[in-house]
Structure 1
Amino acid sequence: MSARILPPTPAAIAEAADLLRAGQLVGMPTETVYGLAADASDPEAVARIFAAKGRPNDHPVIVHVAAGADLSRWAARVPDAARRLMAAFWPGPLTLILPRAPGVLDAVTGGQDTVGLRCPSHPVAQALLAAFGGGVAAPSANRFGRVSPTTAQHVAGEFDQAVPVVLDGGPCEVGIESTIVDVSSDIPILLRPGHVSAVALSAVLGTAVLTRAQMDERRSVPRVSGSLSAHYAPRTPLKLAGAAVLAAEVAAARAQGRSVGVWSSRDPGGATVWVQAPSEPERYAQALYATLRELDGRGLDLLLLENPPAAPAWSAVRDRLGRAAVGSGAG
């Protein structure tokens, strides 16, 4: 039996909330990607996430909360920096790493003394969280390390009967996972780039937000979702190439008898399949995972993607593509 994709009617949301209370998994839309949701306070339910995804046990998951939720159930304290970021960006695509409260499951935190919290802006996610009345662990609804889902159909095709219901919230507006910022200490650290940029974070905080690379030598930083070098990967080998050498890369692959799918701003010529890439970072991010999934399903020998610009606005996209290339075995 395949997962049932349901329109987000009040009855469907109530059914999904009942499934969460019963310890089952639910496909939940958010503005970033679709999540594989379970009751974050139920150890057996959280274990079902890890089993369904094939996720390493020490890899933490993010707890999603409703707007206005009491965070004391999850966080031991909420520093001033966190409150300022919440006021500016919640509900929205921003995850905050906070000191964990007593009683938060080790499976949720990866055994660390911190917990990741997010308040999604998608109206269906908010309706489900309000109906459920608790925190929901919801990593991306895909097999671990593979391409994240941005439609309900992606989720249903990934898990079949392991997920009884997927709420259909339409294509995800943002399209890549949330920005993650560690605010558990006195120095805010950007651990995963996303739609909320470092510039926007710094403007709210009135101080520069440092990156993981800048902090690694000073102190350890928490493990967070999407931080492994190999992630977000299609099964087809994926290679990144600059615009100037893309045509030569296509020609070389075709000379070897390999079929090639290309995602680039201009047609390099000679590709088996060419898809035009958006020129704006927001539109590119929104289309990224759906395009990777579509090309991955073509049975091609190689995917060639044009390297995005090095400008800060493209940092989140570049992060995802770099990890996808490594995860595909071609990076």
Structure 2
Amino acid sequence: MNVPLRNTSFWRVDSQDPDREQLRAAAELLRAGGAVAFPTETVYGLGADARRTDAVARIFEAKGRPSDNPLIVHISDLAQLAELTLPLAAEGAGALADRLMDRFWPGPLTIVLPVKPGAVSARVTAGLDTVAVRMPAHPVALALIAESGCPLAAPSANRSGRPSPTLAAHVRGDLSGRIDGIVDGGAAGVGLESTVVEVVDGGTVRILRPGGVTAEDLQEAGATVVYDAVAAPEAAEDAAAGQAPRSPGMKYAHYAPQGQMQLVKGEPGAVADWINAAVRRARESGERTGVLAFAEHAARYDADCVLVVGSLARLDTAAHGLYTSLREFDAQGVQRIWAETCPEQGIGHALMNRLAKAAGHAVVRV
């Protein structure tokens, strides 16, 4: 797709106390129908006025994103929610949704709700009768949304299929010259995208995409948790075949480095032996090799590029470092990548979900 070359403005702001004058310039671009990248507590998002089809089209154009993939709408206060959505029909569902908002907003939880007719562009919902909404927990994001006066449709600010950006530098590398502006508010926090849920009834939520709010968090908030087929732990590679995606991140390959990636599951010693043998074979073929390992096992590997993604004892550190590591493999010119796996509890569920997508669901069990 040929994208018109744009002059991309750049503003560096304090992550906790952003300069309102600089945000005012970015907000003016958004009100005029532009596309501006900004930090959230999960990853950087690429925002545009969710009500304007011409503005939303800029997101798809810049990212090269498939048009049947819905977008999350970001808001800064609950008054905006009332302008976008209708009440849930199931008995007690509205009360449960309200409890989740009270508990997790602002924060990395996206809730799929009935959309008010005409409230957002049809390109945001991909023709569905629902809209995915969240309130981000980042001072820069909240201030920019409020300053613009726009509910912002905002997927991750990367080229479609690439690892999501956790630094403004990642956004610049992917989208400079393709969007109108980048607000640099420092590193993102969680490092993985938000959890997406739909409220089934007065007591149950269905996870459509795992993320920064875990199933255990939702259970502690009093909800019974079920999973969509493509979001469940150990989800099958073809679980979404033939289905229209009902939330962002359900259908297409995402988060992938440029090199061929494979996950290796099993006992740590057996995993290390298998990967090191694969590394030797790849080197004999002249390929540059990489291993994505946890801190506890990294010394076992002898690849051209061994990156520590975080600690098994603190999987939140691995979540935070995943996308930066995948981009570093690209920077190092790595052609073949093998990655360790982790237990799918807590944030480990979301981490494995992203690793599987990055590897195109190529998994070896040893």
Category of TM-score, reference length = shorter chain: over 0.9
Equivalences for residues 287-326 of structure 1 within 5 A: 287-326=321-360
Equivalent residue in structure 1 for 2:277, among 239, 248, 257: 248
2:247 aligned with 1:224:
yes
Say whether the 8 Å CA contact 2:48–2:152 is kept in structure 1: yes
Q: Aligned residue for 1:273?
A: 305
Q: Aligned residue for 1:106?
A: 122
Gapped regions of structure 2 (runs ≥ 5):
1-5, 14-18, 89-93, 233-238
SS in 2 for 1:267: helix
Tell me the CA shift for residue 64 of structure 1. 0.1
Equivalent residue in structure 2 for 1:70, among 77, 80, 83: 80
Q: Aligned residue for 1:238?
A: 261
Distance 1:49 1:330, change over 3 A: farther
Q: Aligned residue for 2:287?
A: 258
Tell me the CA shift for residue 57 of structure 1. 1.3
CA distance in 1, matches of 2:324, 2:309: 12
Tell me the CA shift for residue 149 of structure 1. 0.6
SS in 1 for 2:78: coil
Larger mean CA deviation between 87-96 and 139-148 belongs to 139-148
Say whether the 8 Å CA contact 2:258–2:335 is kept in structure 1: no
Equivalent residue in structure 1 for 2:112, among 84, 88, 97: 97
Q: Output the TM-score relative to the length of structure 2.
A: 0.84
2:216 aligned with 1:199:
yes
Gapped regions of structure 1 (runs ≥ 5):
none
C-alpha distance after superposition, 1:7-40 (max 9, x if no partner): 2221110001000011001011101010110001
Count the aligned residue pairs. 327
Tell me the CA shift for residue 309 of structure 1. 2.7
CA distance in 2, matches of 1:184, 1:45: 32
C-alpha RMSD of the superposition: 2.3
Which amino acid letter does the alignment assign opposite residue 132 of structure 2?
Answer: G
CA distance in 2, matches of 1:292, 1:5: 25
Tell me the CA shift for residue 330 of structure 1. 8.8
SS in 2 for 1:96: strand
CA distance in 2, matches of 1:85, 1:28: 25
SS in 2 for 1:180: strand
2:31 aligned with 1:21:
yes
SS in 1 for 2:326: helix
Which amino acid letter does the alignment assign opposite residue 64 of structure 2?
Answer: G
Say whether the 8 Å CA contact 1:67–1:91 is kept in structure 2: no
Q: Aligned residue for 1:127?
A: 143
Tell me the CA shift for residue 115 of structure 1. 0.4
Equivalent residue in structure 2 for 1:80, among 95, 113, 120: 95
Tell me the CA shift for residue 118 of structure 1. 0.5
Larger mean CA deviation between 273-282 and 107-116 belongs to 273-282
Distance 1:284 1:44, change over 3 A: same
CA distance in 2, matches of 1:272, 1:72: 53
Say whether the 8 Å CA contact 2:125–2:131 is kept in structure 1: yes
Q: Aligned residue for 1:6?
A: 11
Distance 1:323 1:251, change over 3 A: same
Say whether the 8 Å CA contact 1:98–1:184 is kept in structure 2: no
Say whether the 8 Å CA contact 2:39–2:185 is kept in structure 1: yes
C-alpha distance after superposition, 1:155-181 (max 9, x if no partner): 111112222221111111000100000
Tell me the CA shift for residue 135 of structure 1. 0.4
SS in 1 for 2:207: strand
Larger mean CA deviation between 151-160 and 32-41 belongs to 151-160
SS in 2 for 1:176: coil
Q: Output the TM-score relative to the length of structure 1.
A: 0.92
Say whether the 8 Å CA contact 2:56–2:121 is kept in structure 1: no
Q: Aligned residue for 1:213?
A: 229
CA distance in 1, matches of 2:29, 2:172: 16
